[in-house]
Amino acid sequence: MTFFNSKALNRRKFLAGAAAIGVGTTLPLLQSRAAFGADVALEFEGWNYDPEFQTQIVTEYTAQNPAVSVNFIAEPAAQYVPKMIARFIGQNAPDLLYVRDQTLAGWADAEYIRPINDFPDWEEHVAGLIPFHRAGLEYEGKVWGLPYYGDHIAYIYNSDILEKAGIAAPPVTWAELADQSLAIKKAGLIERPFAFPLKSNAGLHWWSAVYASGGSLFDAEGNPKFPDEDTVALQLLEFLVHAAQELDILDQTSVQMGTAEGRLALAAGQVAFASSARYDLKVINDPATSKVSGFAKQVLFPSLTADGPHGTVGWTQMFSISSNTAHPDEAWDVLKYISSQDVAKRYYLKNGVGYAYEALDNDADIAAETSKWSDQGMFAKQGALAKPREYIAFPWAAEWEDFHMQQMQEAIVGRKTARDAMLASADKAIQLKKSS
């Protein structure tokens, strides 16, 4: 007679059996936990760019620090912000997390994350950072984390196409770029050789163009300076409209193009000029992922006039500690490890993703790696001209930028004039600022 077919299967036996099953399944876990020896379990969450690397780093950390276990979870990048906010609201945030530059101000205001200034040795961990990356970690006079990575928007051209069109040097101004695009078109190489990402989440490229021509969109209080107080934005949009509608040199898909689509268009040889994240050069110059391997080169971001200043947008993504962690000291210890200069260097060597440490600019391994797919000198030169978007701390920034990109699209497809689009965008900024 077995346990289950026994007529005597009463409540007591059922409970005893359930308890036995419970103990039987839990005990091995408890034993393995004890064997592992971790006293503190931390959750670490980020978006899904190379999660294997991050898992490897935390595994190394836990091997050196057996009293702490760290579970890294990678979320799809597109859902990362709403997912994290849901966790913050539900008081269920991970101990450590990635923080995007656009969300820093909002998450700091909402007290979702905690500043690192409370930890005794924080200053020595931000001392060697490139100034603009150091600034990217700050908000309201406090430092909110340590760098994950940082980079800038690069202007990229296809040297092979330029050579075939008889063009000796890459463009310095937008006017030169238009002339070269017309030459490429005339040579029958590419019908529309120039792309400008204008999708709603591609504002980085627009800001880079504005900075490259010495423009500014907002004052310190968030009042729009375009289209008349600072005319750079209007002139740039007028140029893009002219390139799309009259010169017919702007790739038609630009209005649907984000950074990823721009990179793919460059790698497929569909365009000769486009901006992209600087680290994308590694992929665009990789024969396994590109048709134009070896021909994608970086040049300073074109401007309206030859005297530049050819600036661009730079950004810093960071690791932070959530406010509600029960183990802030252990989280800080992990944070220092995962954002160390050594890890940043390894990340660069693996993925080409930019670093925030000044010392790495002169690192021989970094220079050797960069030379395989880019130009370290140009990287440093353009990087020195990079700065973050000036509106990023305004709570209405994301909504305004989406609206602004929609207005740009309306102008490019001919549904509005450049000036009307800019005026509508400025009005929207004023309205959002007023209601925030």
Partner 1 sequence: MLVLLGLVAYPVGLSLWISLHKMSFRKPKDFPFVGLDNYTTALTSPEFASALSVTLKFSLASVVLIVAIGLALALLLNVPVRGRGVLRALVLVPWAIPPIVNATLWQLIFDSHVGAFNGLLMQLGLIDAYRSWLIDPNMALVIVVLAHAWNHVPLATIILLAALQAIPRELYEAALVDRTSRFRVLREITMPWLLRPIMIVMILQTMGALRAFDLFYVLTGGGPGTSTTALAWLTYQTSFVYLDVGMGSTYSYIIMIITFAVALFYIRGLYKRGDVE
Measured from the CB atom, the residue of 267 and 353 that comes closer to partner 1 is: 267
Q: How far apart are CA 224 and CA 427, in angstroms?
A: 9
Q: What is the dihedral of CA 362, 379, 76, 56, to 10 degrees?
A: -20
Q: How far apart are CA 303 and CA 210, in angstroms?
A: 8
Structure tokens at 133: 């990356």
Residue 17 binds to partner 1 (criterion: CB under 8 A) = no
Q: Give me the residue label for tokens 């529309």.
A: 192
Residue 334 binds to partner 1 (criterion: CB under 8 A) = no
Count other Cβ atoms within 10 Å, centred on residue 31. 10
Determine which residue in the list 252, 340, 351, 376 makes contact with partner 1, applying CB under 8 A.
Answer: 252
Stretch of 11-19, 135-143, 247-255, 295-303 lying at the interface with partner 1 (CB under 8 A): 247-255
Q: Of residues 166-225, which lie at the interface with partner 1 (CB under 8 A)?
A: 191, 199-200
Stretch of 80-88, 117-125, 276-284, 383-391 lying at the interface with partner 1 (CB under 8 A): 80-88
Task: State the chain's maximal CA–CA distance in angstroms.
Answer: 94
Residue 407 binds to partner 1 (criterion: CB under 8 A) = yes
Structure tokens at 59: 């595994």
Determine which residue in the list 253, 323, 351, 376 makes contact with partner 1, applying CB under 8 A.
Answer: 253
Residue 399 binds to partner 1 (criterion: CB under 8 A) = yes
Q: Of residues 274-313, which lie at the interface with partner 1 (CB under 8 A)?
A: none
Q: Of residues 83-112, which lie at the interface with partner 1 (CB under 8 A)?
A: 85, 88-89, 106, 109-111
Residue 253 C-beta: closest distance to partner 1, Å: 5
Give me the count of residues in the chain: 436
Stretch of 50-58, 113-121, 303-311, 410-418 lying at the interface with partner 1 (CB under 8 A): 410-418
Radius of gyration of the chain (CA): 26
Is 180 within 8 Å of 159 (Cβ atoms)? no
How many residues belong to the site for partner 1 (CB under 8 A)? 29
Determine which residue in the list 181, 270, 276, 382 makes contact with partner 1, applying CB under 8 A.
Answer: 270
Determine which residue in the list 177, 412, 422, 423 makes contact with partner 1, applying CB under 8 A.
Answer: 412
**Could you tell me which residues come within 8 angstroms of residue 308 by beta carbon, excluding any fewer than 6 positions away?**
212, 213, 214, 300
Stretch of 138-146, 203-211, 315-323, 411-419 lying at the interface with partner 1 (CB under 8 A): 411-419
Q: How far apart are CA 206 and CA 408, in angstroms?
A: 10
Stretch of 9-17, 206-214, 216-224, 395-403 lying at the interface with partner 1 (CB under 8 A): 395-403
Stretch of 124-132, 307-315, 383-391, 408-416 lying at the interface with partner 1 (CB under 8 A): 408-416
Is 426 within 8 Å of 224 (Cβ atoms)? yes
Q: How far apart are CA 387 and CA 271, in angstroms?
A: 27
Residue 417 binds to partner 1 (criterion: CB under 8 A) = no
Q: What is the DSSP string of 205-257?
A: HHHHHHHHTT--SB-TTS-B-TTTTS-HHHHHHHHHHHHHHTS--B-GGGGG-
Q: How far apart are CA 108 and CA 101, in angstroms?
A: 11
Residue 413 binds to partner 1 (criterion: CB under 8 A) = yes
Residues that bind partner 1 (CB under 8 A): 82, 85, 88-89, 106, 109-111, 191, 199-200, 252-253, 255-256, 268, 270, 395, 398-399, 402, 406-407, 409-410, 412-413, 415-416
